[in-house]
Chain A
Amino acid sequence: KQEVTQIPAALSVPEGENLVLNCSFTDSAIYNLQWFRQDPGKGLTSLLLIQSSQREQTSGRLNASLDKSSGRSTLYIAASQPGDSATYLCAVTIAGGTALIFGKGTTLSVSS
């Protein structure tokens, strides 16, 4: 059964720092991997989607990488800002599947 793990569970950094969030999955037979952002008490916002054939995706200050063979993905946030404070969730779609399998998330706090 596919399991998704995110490390660390929580992270606090000062404004301006570059940071990396980690996601690992146990079964490399995935269709795609996505990173979401969730603000407290709110729904999820999609940040980046990486298809299984891709190695990375970039959007603004965000860069997500995917290494299927090792079962790992990273989300790199450059020049962090207080507005980046949120919970970041990693999720995979297994090959032949449709629903997402989520990690428990990393809660990021960026202080000014």
Chain B
Amino acid sequence: DGGITQSPKYLFRKEGQNVTLSCEQNLNHDAMYWYRQDPGQGLRLIYYSQIVNDFQKGDIAEGYSVSREKKESFPLTVTSAQKNPTAFYLCASRLVAHQETQYFGPGTRLLVL
């Protein structure tokens, strides 16, 4: 069963804590993306990666970090430098060669304690 999985579904962060959101895909897609969605807002790009071991900042990368050690995985770390992390985080992937649509995971909702 191919698709994109994100875990956990809900994540709670304490002040000053770094937390990591998981994103895994078994679609053999080259590119992966992280978006943030705030209530009543569209999605904003945090980071993206088009190949393993390479990634680029999006529009709102400050306070976040990523890695792309494997094609299937693109974890996002929300660092303590991100002062307003409460949001819905969505991961997506795409097959670059065919300019297909992006496929989205179910999302992780991050809340601050």
Bound pair (A, B)? yes
B-binding residues in A (CB < 8 A): 4, 9, 31-32, 34, 36, 41-46, 49, 51, 89, 91, 98-105
Expressed in whole angstroms, the Cα–Cα distance for A103 and B41 within the complex equals: 8
**B102 contacts A43, C-beta separation under 8 Å:** no
Task: Report how many residues on chain B are interfacial, defined by Cβ distance under 8 Å.
Answer: 29
**B42 contacts A4, C-beta separation under 8 Å:** yes
Which residues of A sit under 8 angstroms from B43, Cβ to Cβ? 44, 89, 91, 100, 102
**B106 contacts A42, C-beta separation under 8 Å:** yes
**A34 contacts B104, C-beta separation under 8 Å:** no
> Provided the pairs A32-B99, A44-B90, A98-B48 are in contact, do residues A104 and B42 lie with their beta carbons within 8 angstroms?
yes
Give the tally of cross-chain contacts (CB within 8 A).
Answer: 56
A contact patch SS: strand
**A104 contacts B90, C-beta separation under 8 Å:** no
**A43 contacts B101, C-beta separation under 8 Å:** no
Instruction: Tell me, rounded to whole Å, the shortest Cβ–Cβ distance linking A11 to chain B.
Output: 15
Which residues of A sit under 8 angstroms from B105, Cβ to Cβ? 43
20 contacts between A and B (CB under 8 A): A9-B40, A31-B99, A32-B99, A41-B88, A41-B107, A42-B106, A42-B107, A43-B6, A44-B104, A51-B99, A98-B31, A98-B94, A99-B33, A99-B58, A100-B102, A102-B42, A102-B44, A104-B40, A104-B42, A105-B42
Partner of B101, one of A49, A98, A101, A105: A49
Q: Does B45 contact A (CB under 8 A)?
A: yes
**B102 contacts A46, C-beta separation under 8 Å:** yes
Q: Does B86 contact A (CB under 8 A)?
A: no
Which residues of B sit under 8 angstroms from A42, Cβ to Cβ? 106-107
**B106 contacts A99, C-beta separation under 8 Å:** no
Chain A residue at minimum C-beta to C-beta distance from B100: A49
Which residues of A sit under 8 angstroms from B41, Cβ to Cβ? 104
Q: Does B109 contact A (CB under 8 A)?
A: yes
Q: Does B73 contact A (CB under 8 A)?
A: no
Chain B residue at minimum C-beta to C-beta distance from A1: B59
